[in-house]
Every structure is written in C-alpha cells, then in structure tokens.
Amino acid sequence: MNAPVADSIGKADFPWWLAITATIGIALAIFIGINDLYSQVFRAVSRGVSITIFVTLVGFTLASALGLLLAIMGLSNSIVLRQISRFYVEIIRGIPILVLLFYIAFVGAPGFVALWNAITGPLIEAGFIAKMTVRDFPLLWRAIIALMIGYSAFIAEVFRAGIQAVDSGQIEAAKALGLNGYQRFRLIIMPQAIRTIAPPLGNDFIAMIKDSSLVSVLGVADITQMGKIYAAGSFRFFETYSIVAYIYLIITIGLSLVLRSIEKRMRQQWN
C-alpha cells in the first residue's frame, strides 16, 4: 500500500463520530446543568444508576459462569450432557427476555418458594427456620436470575464457538505433554479461545445494560423505573425520557470505548 492511500485511510479512520458525539454530550451536559427543570429530572433519574449497574454486573457474571458451564457440557464426550446443554440453549434462546422476566418473577419464584417449604418442612415444624413466603424473594433478585438465565444461553454459544476455534493440534500437543483435561482447558484452550470470545462477550455485556431496563416492569428502581415514576408524577414525558436516553448513552458508549481499548491492547499483546 502506497503512502497517499495509507494517509487517506488514516484520515478516514479518525473517529469523527466520537468527536461529534462528545461535543453533543458536553453541550447537553451544560444545558442540563443550567436548566433547573432538566437538572431536577437528571437528579431524580440518576438515582437508579446504581441499581442498573448492580443488576448488570451481577447478572452478567452469573450468566457468564453458567454459559461457560453449558459450553463445556455441550462439548463434552457425554451425550447426556451434550443434549441437556443443547436443550437448554435452544429453549431459552426462543423465549423473549421480557416474557422470561415475568415467568421467573411470577411463576418461578412462587414455585421455588413452595419447593423450599416442602423440602424444609420438618425444620419449619420444629421451629428451626421460618416458613418462606413469596415476598421473601426480592423482585431485584428475580430480575437478576431472569437476565442470568436469558443471557447464559447466548453466552454459552459464544464460549462454544471460541473453544472450537482453537486449533486441535494445540490440544493434541497438550495431551502428548501429559496435561489433564483441566490443565489443557486452563493453560491451552482458554488463553487462545479468549481472542474469539472477548469481542462478542463485550457486546453481550453492553446489550445486557440496555436490556436491564426491562426490570422496571417488575418495579425494580433502575434508571427506567425512576424515569417512569418521575414522568407519571410530573407529566414531563419528553424531558424525562430524554434524560433517561442520555444516561444510557453515556454508560453504553463509555463502556464500548473501554472495551475497544481493552481489545486493542489484547490484540497487540497476541501479535
């Protein structure tokens, strides 16, 4: 590639979109700061940021752990484990997240409570523990469990694709060196699979931040729920949901830039 072409590509790759977005974001921040109404809305809605972050971090961590387990099951030598993994992934991927939230909150949670009380019945009768009620199962954790279940099916496929992308010759060489299954997975497979896994896993994390807004239908006090409460009381729907969108954009774009930076550093280390 000659120098003029390289220079033109370099100029074209300048993140003009980011410069424009940052300029608009700063202008909006100044406007929010000097406008009493928007400042009030921002303070009210931003109280849900901590819940949104908590739901996303906990839900994604649990979903990643379950997804990795499902991927390992799907690649195991046991046909039973493979079929269980495939059944779970295909069924869960076919259910919308919103439906899954309602199902876990209003069907799964009561079912779990009934099962728990049945199993611990002798202890309850003896007075060692109290009988659990549905109210003892917080809506926050019902939402987190629903997100964990929903996203684990997609993350399992990400892990599976990354593991299968590792050259089989590498695995055979590890076997020849006498490494057991766990050592091969930890020392050979995962360090190479992470190259394939990292980008889509980062995309799923950002997607979960946006989908965490669905937990507002259960009354969980996240960003969206705080916006719904404020808009219902003030009838300032335009101002409120503009602020809600603004906060989500700050979080998602900021995280997207961080993840891209991490991926770039990882590529430089691998190369």
Domains of the chain: 48-270 (1.10.3720.10)
Pick from 165, 155, 156: which is nearest to 191 by CA? 165
DSSP symbol at 129: S
Q: What is the pLDDT of residues 252-266, one digit of tens each?
A: 999 998 888 888 887
Q: What is the pLDDT of residues 226-238, one digit of tens each?
A: 999 999 999 999 9
Q: For the whole model, what pTM was predicted?
A: 0.87
Whether 271 shows a pLDDT value over 80: the answer reads no
Average pLDDT in the chain: 88
Q: What is the pLDDT of residues 95-137, one digit of tens each?
A: 999 999 999 999 999 999 899 888 988 888 888 888 888 888 8
In terms of DSSP H, where are the helices of the chain?
3-12, 16-34, 36-45, 49-74, 79-93, 97-103, 109-119, 121-126, 139-164, 168-176, 181-183, 190-211, 223-234, 237-270
The reported pLDDT for the residue numbered 14 is 77
User: Which burial class, exposed, middle or buried, applies to 149 when counting CB atoms under 10 A from its CB (0-12, 13-18, 19+)?
Assistant: buried
Span 6-24, average pLDDT: 72
Query: What gap in Å lies between CA 54 and CA 208, rounded to an integer?
Result: 12
User: Per the structure block, which two tokens stand in for 250?
Assistant: 């700050």
The reported pLDDT for the residue numbered 181 is 75
Query: What gap in Å lies between CA 266 and CA 99, rounded to an integer?
Result: 37
For the chain, percent of residues with pLDDT exceeding 90: 58
